[in-house]
Structure 1
Amino acid sequence: MTKTNRGRFFEDYRIGEVIHHAVPRTVSGGERALYHALYPARHALHSSDEFARSAGLAQAPLDDWAAFHLVFGKTVPDVSLNAVANLGYAEGRWHLPVYPGDTLRATSEVIGLKQNSNGKTGVVWVRTRGLNQRDACVLDYVRWVMVRKGNPDADAPETRVPDLKPVLAAEDLALPAGLDFTGYDFTLAGEPHRWGDYAIGEQIDHVDGATVEEAEHMLATRLWQNTAKVHFDTSARPDGRRLIYGGHVISMARALSFNGLANAQMVVGLNGGAHANPCLAGTTLRAWSEVLDKAETAAPGVGAIRLRLVATSGGAPFQLKGADGKYLPEVLLDLDYWALMPR
């Protein structure tokens, strides 16, 4: 009897199936230290307990994307171990801050399936929930991934493409209890720009760049226990190279966005995202942002800002798609998210 797990293939999924992922993980300050070592992350709310307490939180929470990666990594053995590519995200919400000492686990529900015309792969949609030790949902999101078929002759599962919100409304966002930016220290945060200083349609070139190294990518995927073959095994891709985890690109671009968006302190909503082109080691990432929307919130001194974050491997900033409507080859990431900022 075989005891090893070769991962699920497209024909193994069924609509409505709920997958309980192994293994729960207790968060410590080590995750924060490693996250800040991997990325030039320096948003004050996630860096300083004292700054976080001055904003009404118990202490500095784990970076929002670090919490996302931790939950995401739990799903990989059951959802994307045999993936060709992770295709996109929608309806993502951060419900509760994650603090050192919290224990996280994850579940996913299969909400969509569609076999591709080549008959060799299919797209799987799942809604994933990250739960803490009190069974409270800390974050949830939908993602869809292209997965290989184990048996090309296997019948295709029932086809269903989920109807997803293109954008979360501001009232759908969860605000951390007690969050208060009325006493916000702009000097310690690093920039003077408030929510009111940004205009819808404004574009920001984040100026800086960072070259992705093979070693840091491997450390990141191991840190998040992301075992997708295309990230670890050079024989899993025809070109013999490891594909950089898309979340690594997200976190690097988010860290680069500090220059110009230092006060976009907490990520609370993920409207959509596309890994437009593959990223490989040796690529130098650059980033730019566009303000898509703004909204007031009920939290004292807190505004919500909707941002498009684009990571590129070069080219002029603010260029996204060509005349054919397709992403330009240098565009690696197109991410649409909501963040909280002092008003």
Structure 2
Amino acid sequence: MAKTNPGWFFEDYSVGQVIDHAVPRTLSGGERALYHALYPARHALYSSDAFAQACGLPSAPLDDLIAFHTVFGKTVPDISLNAVANLGYAEGRWHRPVWPGDTLRSQSEVIGLKQNSNGKSGVVWVRTSGLNQKDEVVLDYVRWVMVRKRDLDAPAPETVIPDLSKTVAAEDLVVPAVLNFTGYDFTLAGEPHRWGDYEVGEVIDHVDGVTIEEAEHMQATRLWQNTAKVHFDATFREDGKRLIYGGHVISMARALSFNGLANAQMIVGLNGGAHANPCFSGDTVKAWSEVLDKAETGAPGVGALRLRLVAVKAGAQPGALKGDDGKYLPDVLLDLDYWALIPL
């Protein structure tokens, strides 16, 4: 009896299937230190216990994307080990902060299937939940992945394409009950810009760039225990290149967005996202953001910005996203639509 795991293939999935992913993970300040070493992340709420306490929290939580990467990484052996590409995200919400000492595990439900016309692969939609040691949901999201077939003669499943919301409604965003930005210290946060200073349609060039190094992206992928073959095995792609984990690009772009959005502190919603073009070692990543919407929340002094975060290769024009044909421009790496909390 074979004891190794070759991963799941497209014909192994069925709609309604629930997958409990292996190996829970207890997070500590070590993950924060490594995260801030890998990315130029310096949002004050996640860097300083004193700053977080002044905002009503007991201490600085771990960066929201640490929680996302950890939960995502748990799903890879069962969802995307044999993936051709991770295609998109929707309906993501952060329900509660994650603190050092919390243990996270992941569970996914298959909510959609569609075999591709070539008969060699298909798209799998899953809704993934990350739960802490109290079985509380800390975040959930939908993603869809193109997965290879093991047996090309396996019959195609009934096509089920889930009806997904284009955005998370502002009233459905979860704001931590104790969060209070009425005494927010803009000097310590690094910028004076508050909710009222941003206009819908405004494009912000984040100016800075970071060249992706092979060693750093490999360390990041191992940190999140992401076992997808395309990130590790140089023989897995015909071009002999290791594909940069999309989450590495997300975190890099989010960190770069500090310059212009230093006060967009907590990520609370993921409306959609696409890894538009592959990223490889040696690419220099820059970022720009567009303000898509604004909303007030019921929390004291707390507003929300809906932001489009776009990661591009150096030399791309800020604000340029798609060509006349409706396709992403070749220098666009990431198109991420999310909600963040910011002081009013």
TM superposition score normalised by structure 1: 0.99
Shift of 1:173: 0.3
Q: After TM superposition, what 4+ stretches of structure 1 lie above 6 angstroms from structure 2?
A: none
> What is the alpha-carbon distance in structure 2 between the residues aligned to residue 119 and residue 4 of structure 1?
26
Q: Where does 1:133-282 land on structure 2 (aligned, <5 Å)?
A: 133-282=133-282
The equivalent residue for 2:115 is: 115
The residue that corresponds to 1:47 in the other structure is: 47
Which letter does structure 2 place at the counterpart of 1:273?
G
Counterpart Cα distance in 1 of 2:233 and 2:121: 19
The secondary structure found in structure 2 opposite 1:318 is coil
Would the aligned equivalents of 1:210 and 1:286 in 2 still touch at CA under 8 Å?
yes
Partners of 2:280 and 2:151 in 1: CA distance: 29
**Aligned residue type for 1:127:** R
Question: Residue in 2 aligned with 1:57?
Answer: 57
Say which SS state the counterpart of residue 326 (structure 1) adopts: coil
Show CA shifts across 1:202-242 (max 9, x none).
11000000001110100001000000000011111110110
Q: How does 1:300-319 map to 2 (within 5 A)?
A: 300-314=300-314, 315-319=316-320
Deviations 1:164-197 (A, max 9, x none): 0001110010001200000000000000000000
1:302 positional shift: 0.2
CA distance in 2, matches of 1:278, 1:157: 29
**Distance in 2 (alpha carbons) for counterparts of 1:243 and 1:156:** 29
Partner-residue secondary structure (3-state), 2:24? strand
Could you tell me how far apart the structure 1 residues matched to 2:158 and 2:43 are?
A: 45
Shift of 1:156: 1.4
Output the aligned Cα RMSD. Answer: 0.5
User: 1:325, 1:267 → 2: CA distance?
Assistant: 28
Task: Please tell me whether residue 320 in structure 1 is matched to residue 321 in structure 2.
Answer: yes
How much does 1:304 deviate? 0.5
Task: Give me the whole-angstrom Cα distance separating, in 2, the residues matched to 1:244 and 1:54.
Answer: 37
Query: Quick one: which amino acid aligns to residue 195 of structure 1?
Result: W
Shift of 1:157: 2.0
- What is the CA–CA distance in structure 1 between the aligned matches of 2:268 and 2:211, rounded to whole Å? 27
In the TM superposition, what is the alpha-carbon distance from 1:311 to its structure 2 partner? Answer: 0.4
Partner of 1:339: 340
TM-score computed with the length of structure 2 as normaliser: 0.99
Q: Distance in 1 between matches of 2:213 and 2:152?
A: 36
Match of 1:285 in 2: 285
1:159 CA displacement: 1.2
Deviation at 1:58, TM superposition (A): 1.2
What is the one-letter code of the residue matched to 2:168? L
How far, CA to CA, are the matches of 1:334 and 1:110 in structure 2? 24
For residues 123-171 of structure 1, give each alpha carbon's deviation from its aligned partner in whole angstroms, at most 9, with x where no partner exists. Answer: 0000000000000000000000000001111111221000000011100
The SS at the match of 1:236 is: coil
Question: Which residues of structure 1 form unaligned runs of 5+?
Answer: none
Aligned residue number for residue 295 of structure 1: 295
Instruction: Give the partner amino acid of 1:340.
Output: L
Contact 1:89 1:144 in 2 (8 A): yes
8 A contact 1:167–1:272 mirrored in 2: yes
Q: CA deviation at 1:66?
A: 1.0
Q: Is the 8 A contact 1:266 1:339 kept in 2?
A: yes
> What does the per-residue CA deviation read over 1:228-278, in whole Å, with 9 as the maximum and x for residues that have no partner?
000011111110110000000000000000000000000000000000000
Contact 1:15 1:158 in 2 (8 A): no
- Distance, in Å, in 1 between the alignment partners of 2:157 and 2:126 is 15
Residue 12 of structure 1 aligns with an amino acid whose one-letter code is D
Provide the secondary structure at the position in 2 that maps to 1:113. strand
- For 1:190, give the aligned amino acid: G
Q: Which runs of 5+ in 2 are unaligned?
A: none
Q: 2:94 and 2:261 mapped to 1: Cα distance?
A: 19
Task: State the distance in 2 between where 1:55 and 1:238 align.
Answer: 50
- Cα distance in 1 for partners of 2:241, 2:199 equals 41
AA aligned opposite 1:73: G
> What do residues 60-97 of structure 1 show as CA deviations (whole Å, max 9, x unaligned)?
11100111000000000000000011000000000000
Q: Structure 1: how far apart are the matches of 2:157 and 2:177?
A: 43
Whole-angstrom CA distance in 2 between matches of 1:153 and 1:220 = 37
Secondary structure of 1:259's aligned partner: helix
- Aligned: 1:69 with 2:69: yes
